[in-house]
Amino acid sequence: MEIIEIKNLRLGFNCACGFCEAIHNISFSLRKGELHALVGESGCGKTISAMSILRLLPKNAKITGGEIYYDGQNLLNLSEREMNKIRGAKIALIPQDPMTSLNPLYTIENQLLEVIKIHQGLEGHDAYQKAIEALELVQIPCPELRMKSYPHEFSGGMKQRAIIAMALACNAEVIIADEPTTALDVTIQAQIMNLLKEIKEKQGTSILLITHDLALVKENADRISVMYAGDIVESGNNSEFFACPKHPYTIALLNSLPNSGKGRLETISGQPPSIQQGISGCKFHPRCKECMEICVSAKPSETSVSRTHSAKCFLLNKKGVDF
């Protein structure tokens, strides 16, 4: 059952050259109790798509179409006051940079208690106990002592755990994790991802993971959606996605993995287009090794590979081609 459902979302920015569309009619969902990874190169629209769920967008951004449902209600129809009751309490955000996401002037206790008071309405001893329980859930040792610490006294991994604790303290049903392992070393990355998986399994929390790390996705995600230039080009469950990728962009990303077993690493020539570039047809065609004449002039529609796997590529409709 879907807890978050994005339908035909269109979003753009007011730039010096006029309005530029950055997200092109995308649709995807997050089911209850699953970890859904949104992957792609930097600048492809992953973060802005996720932030549209919380309606935390830059001032020059504008949603021009589509619907965003949480638990059956369209978030785009809610007032700012109604959204504030959902942000943090129902849908929590683990921001990209744990180093700058905590206020350096306040202790971990101050910041945890403030979140609990705002979203749970608890104060005093009850709020304190809730904060301790949250820190224990994220495996921060000696929580009573560490509550008195300031952010600069925490390592990067500990800061990330404290931010996750804030989401858990509010009993959030959905966690949007935006590159949660950025700037962390490999062992800490594994610990953070194991923690998120444990939260998903024990608490039933739904997690939308934004990342460009396909190796991390392979180990942790239930479903994957690949974004390129503001569009979702392929979606599927973990086993199908990695065993039988269909879009040339997905295949190129997987071939660039260090452990792909294909000897010399492959690269994708060229650069992703900027939102100011008006590319007709499939936006990947300037970089695609499989580009056909139709790819330059027409945009491919979504084609079902199986009940749980789909992609947008004309090669899927070309008989006799197996790739």
Q: Where are the alpha helices (DSSP H) in the chain?
A: 46-54, 80-86, 108-120, 124-137, 143-146, 156-169, 186-203, 214-220, 238-243, 248-255, 293-297
Residues of the chain where predicted confidence (pLDDT) is lower than 50: 319-323
pLDDT number for residue 321: 41
CB-based contact 104:153 (threshold 8 Å): no
Domain positions in the chain are 2-102+154-317
Q: DSSP secondary-structure letter at 87?
A: B
pLDDT number for residue 259: 65
**pTM for this model (two decimals):** 0.91
Superfamily for the 2-102+154-317 domain = P-loop containing nucleotide triphosphate hydrolases (3.40.50.300)
CB atoms < 10 A from the CB of 244, how many?
A: 12
pLDDT number for residue 263: 67
pLDDT number for residue 261: 57
pLDDT number for residue 213: 87
Cα angle vertex 101, ends 220, 123, to 5°? 100
